Amino acid sequence: MTTINIEKRKTYPVDAEHTWSLISDFYALHTWLPAVTDTRREDATRSRIAVLPGGGEVVEQLLDDGRYFHRYRVTGGPMPVTGFVAEIRVHARTETTSEIVWQAEFQPSGIPAADAEGVVAGVFDGGLDNLASLIARETAPAD
């Protein structure tokens, strides 16, 4: 079976602490990822249930976390992948800039590898781009 490794990066004009503050709550994915409309928490399994537009749900279990990163796996839901493990990490680039690196490894399930990669890339790009928009609104000069 084909294993896909994907990595997306984006740099932001704010320090790492600021960037991390936007994504640090593993259970608040809906606050910055457009593909998710709500997030429910399941403490017993360190899992979140990401509610998708239209009502589908993706279950993700937190495997590890620390200063500026989360590592998690998908344990259920409609994603066309298996064995999905991902890490999202914030890096300080300078005192006033930061970068998010979001990477995942998975196998396609029921669709061609290129299509599975496209689905995951679209979710990652949507989140990283939306964070840029949120930061731009926060840092825009007041009128």
Please count the residues of the chain. Answer: 143
The residue with tokens 């709550």 is 25
Element containing residue 20 per DSSP (H, E): helix 16-23
Band of pLDDT at residue 13, cut at 50, 70 and 90: very high
Using the Cα atoms of residue 47, residue 101, residue 78 and residue 22 in order, give the sign of their dihedral: positive
Judged against a pLDDT cut of 90, whether residue 141 lies above it is answered with: no
- Tens of pLDDT, residue by residue over 26-79, are 999 999 999 999 999 999 999 999 999 998 999 999 999 999 999 999 999 999
Domain 4-139 falls in which CATH fold?
Answer: Alpha-D-Glucose-1,6-Bisphosphate; Chain A, domain 4 (3.30.530)
User: Is pLDDT above 90 for 4?
Assistant: yes
Cα 18 to Cα 136: distance, rounded to the nearest angstrom: 12
The yes-or-no verdict on residue 2 having pLDDT over 80 is yes
Total-model pTM = 0.94
Domain spans of the chain, in order of start: 4-139
Q: What confidence tier does 103 reach under pLDDT thresholds 50, 70, 90?
A: very high
Flag whether pLDDT at 142 surpasses 80: no
